[in-house]
Amino acid sequence: MSKTKDAAVHRNPLGDELRGGRTAKPCALVIFGATGDLTKRKLVPSLMGLAKDGLLPSGFAVVGFARRDWSDQMFRKELAEGVEQFGRSDTVAAFEALADSFSFHQSDFGDADGYASLKQKLDQIDRQHGTAGNRLFYLATPPSAYSSILGHLAAAGLSKDNDGKFARIIVEKPFGRDLDTAVALNEQLRAGFHERQVFRIDHYLGKETVQNILALRFANGIFEPLWNEKFVDHVQITVAESIGVGSRGGYFEESGIIRDMIQNHLMQVLTLVAMEPPATLSADGVRDEKVKVLKAIRSFQPADVDRETVRAQYTGGSFGGEDVKGYREEQGVPANSTTETYAAVRLQVENWRWSGTPFYLRAGKRLPRRVTEVAIQFKQPPHLLFQGGRPLQSNVLLLRIQPDEGVALRFGAKVPGPDVRIRDVRMDFRYGTAFGGETADAYERLLLDAMLGDGTLFARRDEVEEAWRIVDSIVGGWKQSRHRPEEYVAGTWGPERADALLTAGRQWRKP
Amino acid sequence: MSNGAPTLCRTPPRATSLPQIPDALRAIWRSCTSEIGDADVARSLAINFVGVASAAEEADLRQAVDRLQRRTPCRAFLLLLDDTTRAVTAEVSATTRLSGGTHDIVLEEITIRIPTAGLERMPGLVRPMLVNDLPDHLFWATGWPRNERLFDDLAALCEHVVVDTRRFRSPAVEIRHLDARRQDGLAITDLSWLRLRPWRRALAEAFERIEFAPGTATDVQIRHGTGALAAAMRLGEWLETRLGAKVALDGAGAVDRACPNRVLLRCGDNEIDLQAPENQIAVHVTTAAHCFLPFKVPTSRGTDGDLLAAAIDIA
Ligand SMILES: NC(=O)c1ccc[n+]([C@@H]2O[C@H](COP(=O)([O-])OP(=O)(O)OC[C@H]3O[C@@H](n4cnc5c(N)ncnc54)[C@H](OP(=O)(O)O)[C@@H]3O)[C@@H](O)[C@H]2O)c1
């Protein structure tokens, strides 16, 4: 805790009401790109979820920064619609109570005057709304705008932490499109902001079930002793989407599933599953351990990429009773595209804990179901006493991240009767049932953490760069490969060749 | 963003006698399985819950349990006190939630209607039916009993008791009886106190804007209606302890509110004025140097059922 905070708490005789929950200091949030989709669908509805739960500071205001000629009134009207449509129940009243705290600032990202007037506006907001000189900037813009905004914020003197007042910046993915561009973006950020001021959002980390991976591993005594190469045969991490690229074909063509999903979401989940217990749950305590996992994964040699990975594109087919297009027929996608809509990768985490235990990561579009899960597949017992009948599957601990969030364990149980017959059964814990209610959106947690200055659930610079190092080595291998991407029919679990990645009798799960 | 409402099915209530309750529960389990056909049925209970209310308060108690069950699946005993009859009746029902192709039993409800005096027998009846290894919570959702032993015996069954002092007939006296038990080590949560959370938060936020020197003479006026006497007392006690304030209660506020209508606090040159005409508390802070724009906080964080669920969460 900082000295200034100590002093403030000492001065406030009722201060523990604010510290009891996680209450942020007063601040003004400036959203760049505030007329966009993200602001309306996610950011403002999430802020109102926080307001409803009493988690916003009373000194709080939002400034929307974009090009359109909108008045404050127009801005509020748009946001109110967003809250109504996308917010949790009862958040409309929260918006009505706070509407006066939202204002619009019209400017082009490239116009220096726009930042000078923003600064004046923020000073005025401090006086009117008690936001105490603290600022949180949110880049909800196309990545091409980052450089200009970062440069202008620094030039206008808005990026510095001063006199105990904070300035922080939240950056949306993608964090670059390869290692070089990620390093360039990180350098731009560093020119204006210290790393502790930077919050790179990967919304997967805001999901309760992703955070539950740490709770499951480190709050229970029974799992951790088994969590290593001695007992775990392999790990499968799957992020499957049932939708195709739709109207985003042009955007997707530039990235492919490996940049869109694997570099960020899957790598983040992998690090939480594979990391060592951190000494503390501090932001750097956790992130230091996560980055060690990535460092323990070697870059691929080009010659190995065809053996260790599979990439594929969906072809047209019948899906959910409808005929759907293949990827190369989608709008904005060239007929000779080689961009992958499915990728599977075998990774080895080369450290004491995981040596020899493969991690299989796969992500794809137009797969049969939308599902994200981590399956820890345990080894068979050393001696199989109960034989005969159907071969027994090995034990699986399943962490379901979406939908039907929860944890399940598959194990063998005796079938009642005079014979000794064993059948696989499943023990199932479902979040929705055990804790019910409405869960907050991932953005709620992440916005609150950024206001609190807690970076635990945000990607640190070295994590992002390490993940790109690995992904770049795969993409580099694909570029040199003589093979085109495989094909799979929309609505199936991916190309046949993906099966060859799993050796020694292992099989992909069909979640 | 919201998860949408889960699909809940409630079995029709099944009348039974007191000794037959365990069998009726087993039968209801079987009927859930057969009605649902091929789907899996599992039971996911997180707590045992004992709720006590008068027959006239039945609808409120049921609503609260309905909210509770959404967050905290439970086996719930609803003990409804009805002095208009000497008959004792019981019924059981179950609520299942459909999730991911499986039905989970999330509420087993055992409703017993008894005259108040019959409450004496309830600990002996309920104890063997509490599900093992789960925390037990009592919700005393009615007025303070003339025969305090009825409360004590049920409280002894549970590790945590929730009360709503708003329902007390003479809060000024009865809150003292309750607090004596707290001092003896009983874990008690008062919904009146939880209901004040937005007020406490708003006051704390207001104090962020002023310099407060310990020992400054502080006067507080709390205006409330009859329904909010208990809440006003709780808030007053808190401000007395924390600020050494002199607190005056004024009972001329709107009757139908569960929380105060206005809190006016003066310390030194500072004035903090909280007014809640409708669903918001508007907080005006004035210091010698500054008059801030008022900030607003919603007065409520949900229904009584949500407060009950929160009380059980934090227990
Ligand atoms: N949408 C989502 O659900 C989602 C989810 C995850 C991540 N993201 C990421 O979030 C970022 C924003 O996404 P989005 O969907 O909200 O984008 P969007 O709908 O395209 O909005 C872009 C915003 O940027 C503003 N803008 C663009 N150029 C400008 C300029 N030169 N000067 C001033 N304003 C300018 C636009 O303002 P005007 O319209 O006024 O010109 C608009 O407010 C992207 O990086 C995206 O990858 C989005």
- pLDDT one-digit tens code per residue, A131-170: 889 999 999 999 899 999 999 999 999 999 888 899 999 9
What is residue B28's predicted lDDT score, i.e. its pLDDT? 83
Q: Tell me, yes or no, whether B307 lies in a domain.
A: no
The beta-carbon neighbor of B71 closest among A12, A13, A435 is A435
Residues B22 and B134 in one domain: yes
The beta-carbon neighbor of A432 closest among B99, B211, B302 is B99
Calculate what percentage of chain B has a pLDDT beyond 70: 94
Q: Tell me, yes or no, whether B185 lies in a domain.
A: no
Q: Where are the alpha helices (DSSP H) in A99-145?
A: 112-129
Q: Tell me, yes or no, whether B175 lies in a domain.
A: no
Main-chain phi, psi angles of B24, to 5 degrees:
-65, -35
Residue A265 bears catalytic tag: yes
Q: Report, as ranges of residue numbers, the positions in chain A whose pLDDT lies below 50.
A: 1-10
Residue A172 in 3-state DSSP? Answer: strand
CA dist list (Å): A382 to A231, A412, B161: 10, 15, 51
What is the interface pTM, i.e. ipTM, of the complex?
Answer: 0.80
Q: How many CA atoms lie within 13 A of A336 on its CB side?
A: 0
For A294, the token pair is 């990535």
Rounded distance between C-alpha atoms, residue A13 and residue A3, angstroms: 17
- pLDDT one-digit tens code per residue, B153-178: 999 999 999 999 999 999 999 999 99
Residues B149 and B238 in one domain: no
Asked whether the whole model's pTM tops 0.90, one would answer no
CB distance A433–B207 less than 8 Å?
no
Q: How many CA atoms lie within 13 A of B165 on its CB side?
A: 27
CB distance B205–A58 less than 8 Å?
yes
Going from the N-terminus, what domains does chain A have, and what CATH number goes with each? 18-172 (3.40.50.720), 206-501 (3.30.360.10)
Buried b (16+ CB within 10 A) or exposed e, A402-433: eebbbbbebbbeeeeeeeeebeeeeebebbbb
Residues B92 and B232 in one domain: no
Residue A178 in 3-state DSSP? Answer: coil
**Spatial contact of B181 and B188, defined as CB atoms under 8 Å apart:** yes
The pick from A67, A169, A252 for probing ligand 1's pocket by mutation, whose C-beta has the most ligand atoms within 8 angstroms, reads A67
Q: In the listed set B135, B158, B181, which residue is the last one of a domain according to the structure?
A: B158
Residues B97 and B239 in one domain: no
Count CB atoms within 10 A of the CB of residue A323.
9
Question: Using N-to-C axis directions, what is the helix angle for A267-274 and A461-480, rounded to 10°?
Answer: 120
Nearest-by-CA chain A residue for B244: A13
Taking CA atoms only, the protein residue closest to ligand 1 atom 1 is A38
A-proximal residues of B, 206-225, CB under 8 Å: 206-209, 211-212, 214
What is residue A405's predicted lDDT score, i.e. its pLDDT? 82
Answer whether A136 contacts ligand 1 (Cβ < 6 A). Answer: no
Report, as an integer, the average pLDDT of B166-195.
Answer: 94
Residues B146 and B219 in one domain: no
DSSP state of A221: T
What is residue A363's predicted lDDT score, i.e. its pLDDT? 98
Residues B125 and B209 in one domain: no
What is residue A427's predicted lDDT score, i.e. its pLDDT? 79
For B285, the token pair is 């802070």
Nearest C-alpha neighbor of A477 from the set A355, A351, A343: A343
Dihedral sign, CA of B188, B194, B197, B199?
negative
Q: Is the pLDDT of residue B35 over 70?
A: no
Rounded distance between C-alpha atoms, residue A355 and residue A348, angstroms: 7
What is residue A389's predicted lDDT score, i.e. its pLDDT? 58
**Spatial contact of A118 and A156, defined as CB atoms under 8 Å apart:** yes
B85 touches chain A (CB under 8 A): no
User: How close, in Å, is residue A94 to chain B by CA atoms?
Assistant: 7
B284 lies in which domain range? 195-298
Nearest C-alpha neighbor of A316 from the set A244, A364, A238: A244
Ligand 1 atom showing the smallest separation from residue A110 Cα? 31
CB distance A439–B209 less than 8 Å?
no
Taking CA atoms only, the protein residue closest to ligand 1 atom 34 is A66
Please report which confidence band the pLDDT of residue B1 belongs to, taking 50, 70 and 90 as the band edges.
Answer: very low
Q: Higher-confidence residue: B236 or B205? A: B236
Residues B152 and B202 in one domain: no
Q: Which helix (H) or strand (E) holds A184?
A: helix A179-192
**Spatial contact of A440 and A88, defined as CB atoms under 8 Å apart:** yes
Calculate what percentage of chain B has a pLDDT beyond 90: 58
Residues B128 and B240 in one domain: no
Residues of B in contact with A130 (CB under 8 A): 208-209, 292-293, 295
Dihedral sign, CA of A498, A500, A503, A505?
positive
Structural domain total, chain B: 2
Answer whether A172 contacts ligand 1 (Cβ < 6 A). Answer: yes
Q: Tell me, yes or no, whether B80 lies in a domain.
A: yes
Residues B146 and B202 in one domain: no
**Spatial contact of A262 and A471, defined as CB atoms under 8 Å apart:** yes
Residues B29 and B141 in one domain: yes
What is residue B5's predicted lDDT score, i.e. its pLDDT? 58
What is residue B14's predicted lDDT score, i.e. its pLDDT? 93
Residues B129 and B253 in one domain: no
CA dist list (Å): B166 to B9, B141, B169: 32, 9, 8
**Spatial contact of B237 and B176, defined as CB atoms under 8 Å apart:** no
Nearest-by-CA chain A residue for B196: A17
Calculate what percentage of chain A has a pLDDT beyond 70: 95
Residues of B in contact with A86 (CB under 8 A): 1
Q: Tell me, yes or no, whether B22 lies in a domain.
A: yes
CA dist list (Å): A482 to A254, A302, A499, B147: 21, 11, 20, 87
Answer whether A176 contacts ligand 1 (Cβ < 6 A). Answer: no
Answer whether A88 contacts ligand 1 (Cβ < 6 A). Answer: no
Nearest-by-CA chain A residue for B212: A11
Q: Tell me, yes or no, whether B39 lies in a domain.
A: yes
DSSP state of B308: H
Residues B247 and B114 in one domain: no
Q: Tell me, yes or no, whether B48 lies in a domain.
A: yes
Q: Tell me, yes or no, whether B249 lies in a domain.
A: yes
Count how many pairs of residues, chain A against chain B, have C-beta atoms within 8 Å. 124
